[in-house]
Amino acid sequence: MAKMEAPMAESPLDLSPRTGPADAVAPRSRSSRRAWMLVGVAVLAALVVAVVMGLSDATVFFRNVDEAVAQRSELGDQAFRMQGSVVPDSVTKTPNGVTFDLTYNGATATVEHSGSEPALFENTDIPVVAEGQWKGDVFESERLVIKHDESYDEDNPDRIDAAKNQGR
């Protein structure tokens, strides 16, 4: 039987650096580099704009009623959140929502809220945060958040038990 031999390489592996002009990598043209720089600058500018826009939309400051009333002219029509307690018996339903007085630290502001009010919103002395802006002497609100506690559980234990039993 004939033995097959692998062909031998004519020369051992050459690991020396190449120096000829045919082996050199062609440098990028100036227009190619300029185009990539413009793309990079455009992407960076878009990121900066997105961050600035996002932060400006997310920045809504809290003011207590006394601060908001004292700073009314400086605040102008800037959106902010105003915190205080609803003046008892000041809540009036309107075709667009509800109007009420909000008080804190001796100052009072009239709030005209458009839209539905939260489920636990009552005509009592409850803490409320209204989000909106001044329109003249009235604070126009688009969003209401109320603070509630576990007093519903304490005041209405039979409703809690009924709700638990209903789920069975």
Q: Tell me which residue range forms the domain holding 72.
A: 62-149
Asked if the structure places residue 10 within a domain, the reply is no
Asked if the structure places residue 80 within a domain, the reply is yes
Query: Token pair of 80, please?
Result: 């902010």
Asked if the structure places residue 105 within a domain, the reply is yes
Torsion from C-alpha of 109, 112, 115, 120, nearest 10 degrees: 40
Q: If you count them, how many residues does the chain have?
A: 168
Asked if the structure places residue 126 within a domain, the reply is yes
Which residue ranges make up the annotated binding site for heme? 148, 152
Which of 24-28, 45-49, 82-86, 90-94 is the least confident region? 24-28
Asked if the structure places residue 38 within a domain, the reply is no
Indicate the pLDDT class of residue 134, thresholds 50, 70 and 90: very high
Instruction: Give the tens place of pLDDT for each residue, 5-17.
Output: 555 556 678 777 7
Instruction: Give the tens place of pLDDT for each residue, 30-43.
Output: 778 888 889 999 99
CB neighbours (10 Å) of residue 34?
Answer: 11
CATH code for position 69 = 2.40.50.140
| Number of compact structural domains in the chain | 1
Residues ≥6 apart with Cβ < 8 Å to 51? none
Q: Which SS3 state, helix, strand or coil, does residue 145 take?
A: strand
Asked if the structure places residue 86 within a domain, the reply is yes
Which residue ranges make up the annotated binding site? 148, 152
Torsion from C-alpha of 75, 81, 84, 85, nearest 10 degrees: 130
| Integer Cα distance of 103 and 92 in angstroms | 16
Asked if the structure places residue 73 within a domain, the reply is yes
Q: Which of 20-24, 52-56, 123-127, 164-168 is modeled with the greatest confidence? A: 123-127
As to burial, measured by CB atoms within 10 angstroms (0-12 exposed, 13-18 middle, 19+ buried), residue 109 is: buried
Q: Which SS3 state, helix, strand or coil, does residue 96 take?
A: coil
Asked if the structure places residue 44 within a domain, the reply is no
